[in-house]
Amino acid sequence: MAGVLGLSAFLAVFAWNQHTHRGIAGSSNQQTGNDTPEAYATLCKSLFNPMPIVGANDPKLTEAEGEVMLEKQLNTAHELSNSTRDMAPIARGYAQDLEGLKQLLGQEVSPSKVVFGSLNAALGAYTGERKFIADDGKETLDETRNLWSRYNGLQKFVHQRQVHAIQLADLFPRFSGVTTNTPFLSCSFTELQAGFFTLSLDKWFLTMTNVANADLHNCVVAVRFSNDTGESMLQHYFVSTWAKEETRAVEYCQSDFPTSIVSDVSRVEVTIWSKEYSAAPSVIKKPTSGWFSQN
pLDDT, tens digit, for every residue of 193-237? 655 555 555 788 999 999 999 999 999 999 999 999 999 999 999
Tell me the pLDDT tens digit for each residue of 277-289.
999 999 999 998 8
Report all structural domains of the chain as residue ranges with CATH numbers, in order of start.
Answer: 2-47+60-107+143-174 (no CATH), 176-293 (2.60.40.10)
Which three-class secondary structure state does DSSP give residue 225? strand
With contact defined as beta carbons under 8 Å apart, do 49 and 238 qualify? yes
Kindly write down the DSSP assignment for every residue of 148-192, as one continuous string. Answer: HHHHHHHHHHHHHHHHHHHHHGGGGGGGS--B-SS-SEEEEEEEE
Please state, as a whole number, how many other Cβ atoms lie within 10 Å of the Cβ of residue 153: 17
pTM score, whole prediction:
0.77
**What band does 168 get if pLDDT is binned at 50, 70 and 90?**
very high
* Cα(227)–Cα(231) distance, integer angstroms: 6
One-letter amino acid of 223: V
Model pLDDT, residue 13: 47
H-helix or E-strand spanning residue 206 = strand 204-210
Mean pLDDT over residues 67-93, rounded? 93
* Cα(178)–Cα(25) distance, integer angstroms: 25
One-letter amino acid of 179: T
**What band does 122 get if pLDDT is binned at 50, 70 and 90?**
very low
With contact defined as beta carbons under 8 Å apart, do 230 and 193 qualify? no
254, HSE (Cβ side, Cα atoms, 13 Å): 9
